[in-house]
A = this chain, B = another copy of it.
C-alpha cells in the first residue's frame, strides 16, 4: 500500500535513520528554545526568541508589546514544483525559499521554520540529507532556524514548510496601502525563471534552435531552481517608512500588479519599456526567435505572465524614493560584507553567487485613481495604453 524508500544499496530505510539524518542537519542553538520538537510533541519557544532579532534587549516590555509575528505555510511537490534535473539540495532550498519569500513580502524577519517532509521512494538516505541541507542552508542564510518537523513516506515527494517571522507592528507592509501617485517598483529582474523553465522542460522551440541547459550559464538556471527570497530587501524596504504596499511576485508580475490594485483600490499604469529583464534571458531567446524585436516581445511576455521569480513588488510615495535608493545602497554594502564572510563557509554564498547580487529595484509605473490596470507601450513614436492581462501562474490551470 505504501511506498517504501530504499537506500542506494537496496536496503530499506528505517524511520530512525531518517530522523537521525534530519536531526543531525537541523541542529540549532538550544538556548532560547526550551525544547525542539525532535524530543517533545512540540517546539517550545519564548517570545524573547522572536524579538531577539529585532533589538538588543529582546525582553524589553515595550518591544514585546509593539511586535507582531508573521506566519505562512506553503506546500511544494514533485509534479508541480520541481522541474527535472533539480538536485535534492535545490529541492530543499526551494521548499524553504518559497516560504521565506512570503515573510519578505511583508517586510518581516524570518525567525523559525517547521517542515513536514513526505519522502518518495526514489530518495536515498544521502538524498534525504542533501534535501535537509538545502532547507537548512536557505533558512539559516536568512537568519532563521528549523525548530520542528515531521517526516514520513509519500508516493509523491511533498514538502510543506511553515515559516514564522517577526516585525515591529509599525513596519509590517500589506497589499492594501498603495495611494494614487505612488511609484510602482520591482526588485531584481522579471521573466528569467520562466525562460529557465522552458529550458529545463526542453521546450520544442529551444530544441529546434539547439539551445539546451548546457548552452547557458549555470547561474541563469538557478533563477528557477534556487529562488532567492528577497528577505533582506523586504526588511530594508519596510524600515524606510517610504513603502506604502508590498507583496512578492511568486504568481507572476502582472497577476501581482492586479492583486495590489484590487487590495489597494487603485489602478496602475505599467511602463512596458521599464520592466527589468536580464541580458542572458534576452540572448537565449534571441537564438530561438526570428528577430530581436520578437525576442524582446517573448521575454516581455515571460516577465509579465510567468511565475517563479520571487521578487518584491512595492509602491513608494514619490517624495520618498530617495530613501529607498539609500536603503538599497546600504543593503548592497552589507551584503557584500556578508558575501565575503560566507564564501569561506562550506555551503554558504551559493545564492549570492547565482547573480542575485547586487540588489536592485526599478520603478516600472505609477498608481492611479482610476482603477484600471494598464500597460503603456510605445511603437514608432506612438504611445499606447492597453489593459494588462490578469493572468499568471495558476497551478489549477495546468
Contact = CB atoms under 8 A, between A and B. Distances in A.
Contact of A75 (B61, B150, B164): B150
A396 B153 contact: yes
Contacts of A46: 67-69, 169
Interface in A1-59: 1-2, 4, 13-15, 18, 34-35, 37, 39-48, 50, 59
Nearest to A166: B47
B172 A103 contact: no
Give this chain's copy count.
2
A160 B37 CA distance: 16
Given A15-B395, A41-B248, A102-B42, A154 B68 contact: no
A105 B65 contact: no
Interface of A: 1-2, 4, 13-15, 18, 34-35, 37, 39-48, 50, 59, 61, 64-65, 67-75, 77, 79-80, 101-106, 108, 112, 114-116, 118, 147-150, 152-156, 158, 160, 162-165, 167, 169, 172, 174-176, 247-248, 263, 394-398
Contacts of A114: 71-73, 162
A59 B108 CA distance: 22
A372 B75 CA distance: 42
B105 A162 contact: no
Contact of A44 (B35, B68, B116, B248): B68
A116 B75 CA distance: 7
Contact of A65 (B13, B64, B147, B172): B64
Given A2-B398, A158-B154, A69 B41 contact: no
Contacts of A42: 70-72, 102-103, 105-106, 108, 163, 165
14 contacts: A14-B396, A39-B174, A41-B72, A41-B104, A41-B106, A42-B70, A42-B71, A42-B165, A43-B70, A47-B65, A77-B154, A80-B152, A150-B160, A154-B156
Contacts of A263: 39
Contact of A148 (B14, B41, B72, B79): B72
Contacts of A50: 69
